[in-house]
Amino acid sequence: MTQQKVLVIDDDTSLLKLLTRALEKTGYEVSVASSGADGLKKMYTEQPDIVVLDVMMPAMDGWQVCRQIRDLSDVPVIMLTAKGDVKDKVKGFKLGVDDYVTKPFSFAELIARAGAVLHRSGKDSSARKPTVYSGRGIVIDIQAHRVYAREESIELTPTEFRLLVALAEARGHPVSSETLVATVWGSVYAGETEHVKRYIWRLRRKLEQDAENPRLIVSERGVGYRLVLEEDSAD
């Protein structure tokens, strides 16, 4: 799977290092810039899938950077701001900002919001995604909204189906609980990862040959969950 690229523009170098580590752990490719000017250069040369942009920066602030980004691109932008003022948010949305995260924030929240913004904007490479995923006796037909396990049709709820598709579209890569919450339930539920745990359990009961010893939907300790459809990916 081609990794989605995040460009983080912030003059706080310590935050850049921590964010890079958190985003890479989730599966993103990360590029960073410590100034607005450098950020614009990397925006044009690296063509990120999403931009995380700090408002308060010297020389060229986030508002100026966002205006220039919007002159040439519709790439999703999440603004990092220390201000929770409604006027600032209105200003940002008028400039084409897709979402806001107010400092201080948790990395889980930012990652969840990034996943949700990418999903809503269609920048998640959906045009290149297959409509059928199969392997290990499982067939997931997205267009037909059908799932088969060992040639038997499996009845899934809409939420169960969305969760399974989110895992399938990761193509064997682990997906964090925070990203799954944002993708399946929406960013308003950020942090409520118990939803994921409960629905993973339900999917395992319906799809696994042995739900107590899953080999299809596996847990990656400290990372999230992975759907294993390829035989050589399981061991």
Cα gap 65→53, rounded to integer Å: 8
**Given pLDDT bands bounded at 50, 70 and 90, which one contains residue 177?**
confident
Query: Under a CB-based contact definition with an 8 Å cutoff, are residues 149 and 207 in contact?
Result: yes
Q: Which of 169, 214, 232 has the alpha carbon at shortest distance from 27?
A: 169
| pLDDT band at 89; cut points 50, 70, 90 | confident
Looking at residues 1-27, what average pLDDT do you find? Answer: 88
**Could you tell me the pTM of the whole model?**
0.55
The CATH number of domain 129-233 is 1.10.10.10: yes
CATH topology of domain 5-121: Rossmann fold (3.40.50)
In this prediction, residue 210 has a pLDDT band, given cuts at 50, 70 and 90, of very high
What is the C-alpha to C-alpha distance for residues 80 and 82, in angstroms, rounded to an integer?
Answer: 7
What are the domain boundaries of the chain? 5-121, 129-233
Q: pLDDT, tens digit, for every residue of 39-65?
A: 998 887 888 999 999 998 988 899 999
Compute the average pLDDT of residues 204-211.
95
